Amino acid sequence: MKLSRETKAWFLVLAFATGCGGEEDEAPPAPPPRFLYVASGACYSGNGLTTFTNTTSSNQLYRLNLANGAKELFADYFASPSNTGDSPVAVINESATSLLVLVENTTTVGLRRIERVSKVPVGGRQTYSGNITALSGQLRAMTLLSDGFLLVSKSTAIEKMKDGSNRLLSGANPWVNLATPASACTTSTALISAVTKLSNGSIVFAHAGAAAARVGVVNPLGYSVAGDCRSAQAAPVATAFPTAMVYDSGVLLVAYGGASTATDLNSIYAYTVNETTGAISSPQKIYDSNLFGSTYNFLLFGISAMTYDASTGDLFVSTAVSTGATISNYRIERLRFDRSLIGNANTSVLTKKSTFYDFGNDTKCISSLTVSE
């Protein structure tokens, strides 16, 4: 049968409409959910503040959905297969399927270890490293390098290590042992409270020892000569002790903790970091608990952990719920960090978005935070 020109045109229109309709019916795939991973183990909030220990902390590892706050528990370190005294003090992202968790144990120090924890609920936990020589001091913090090695703060030094028993030394010492030789970083060996890295692998440490509260940048190859200390920056006042750090593209945020709401003791400072030289400069205070209620409508006191979500500009901060010297509990605040205001004397660099997770039985204390899928 021969079709008329009009009939052929009608079929073409119908085919085109049907094809377009089919494409419109295919919705784009939803992006995978993203989470805030939380370790609620023994933590540090600054000298002069009393907080939770390895036996009094909540000792849980869980994640909170960034979209709706829903909680999913991964590990309870009071329950089997954990040991008495186990406390998760740091959690970092290893891959799309796993986390690495630093487990402190001051009850039985030989049980200190790093665990690999699956993000898949049935995946469970396994020991990543139990190198007790490397993990011989009180464990504080951990970060992952691009070469697959970890930097682990054990209070008196920073170890560079990997799975199994792999441990790298700087001469005969841990990778970063700041006792000697003399430099701007020297004597920073009593309480290395936090560690992070620059994009070129340089090591950033925070030290909270009395009369030596500071942050510093160390050569990626470790510390063996004075020149390996690239720079150091003293705390704003001697009694403000650095407790947590985050770094993003030339800006280092450092949280300080102290025993009262006096100026600078419980504050956050932003520093400019030159990755080529390692120089830390341009300190700018972007929060001070001394101004809570007048300048700021949110309280940050005894900060124990921070993490930054660069994709949204959100800074997550674990803070005590009050200003008492004995901390009763913590909550997680979700803040908007406007880095475009860095360099200006502007108290709007940090603004509150929400109390993302309020205090409860699982927030004593919050030792580590990280954002990942």
**In a domain? residue 339:** yes
In the chain (373 residues long), the average pLDDT of successive 10-residue segments reads 48 45 64 95 97 97 97 95 97 96 97 95 86 95 96 96 90 93 90 96 95 95 96 96 97 97 98 96 97 97 98 97 98 97 91 98 98 97
* CA angle, residues 155, 368, 215, in degrees to nearest 5: 45
**In a domain? residue 27:** no
pLDDT at 28: 79
**In a domain? residue 353:** yes
Provide CB contacts within 8 A for 61, sequence distance 6+.
37, 38, 39, 40, 73, 74, 75, 77, 88, 91, 99, 101, 117
Two tokens, residue 29? 């795939």
Two tokens, residue 280? 């830390």
Cβ atoms of 251 and 339 within 8 Å: the answer is yes
pLDDT at 319: 98
**In a domain? residue 25:** no
Two tokens, residue 305? 């952990």
pLDDT at 164: 78
**Cα separation of 319 and 287, whole Å?**
13
pLDDT at 12: 47
Total number of domains in the chain: 1
Largest CA distance in the chain: 98
> 127 pairs with which residues across the strands?
115
**Cα separation of 211 and 235, whole Å?**
10
**Cα separation of 88 and 77, whole Å?**
8
3-class SS letters over the chain: CCCCHHHHHHHHHHHHHHHHHHHHHCCCCCCCCCEEEEECCCCCCCCCCECCCCCCCCCEEEEEECCCCCEEEEEECCCCCCCCCCEEEEEEECCCCEEEEEEECCCCHHHCEEEEEECCCCCCEEEEECCCCCCCCCCCEEEECCCCCEEEECECCEEEECCCCCEEEECCEECECCCCCCCCCCCCCCCEEEEEECCCCCEEEEEEECCEEEEEEECCCCCCCHHHEEEEEECCCCCCEEEEEEEECCEEEEEEECCCCCCCCCEEEEEEECCCCCCEEEEEEEEEHHHECCCECCCCCCCCEEEEECCCCEEEEEEECCCCCECCCEEEEEEEECHHHCCCCCCCCEEEEEEEECCCCCCCCCCEEEEEC
pLDDT at 9: 47
pLDDT at 10: 43
**In a domain? residue 306:** yes
pLDDT at 24: 53
183 exposed, middle or buried (CB, 10 Å; 0-12, 13-18, 19+)?
A: buried
**Cα separation of 298 and 142, whole Å?**
28
The domain that holds 351 is classified in CATH as: 2.120.10.80
**Cα separation of 275 and 59, whole Å?**
36
pLDDT at 96: 94
Cβ atoms of 332 and 271 within 8 Å: the answer is no
**In a domain? residue 24:** no
**In a domain? residue 229:** yes
**In a domain? residue 191:** yes
Segments forming the whole domain that contains residue 100? 32-372
**Cα separation of 289 and 268, whole Å?**
9
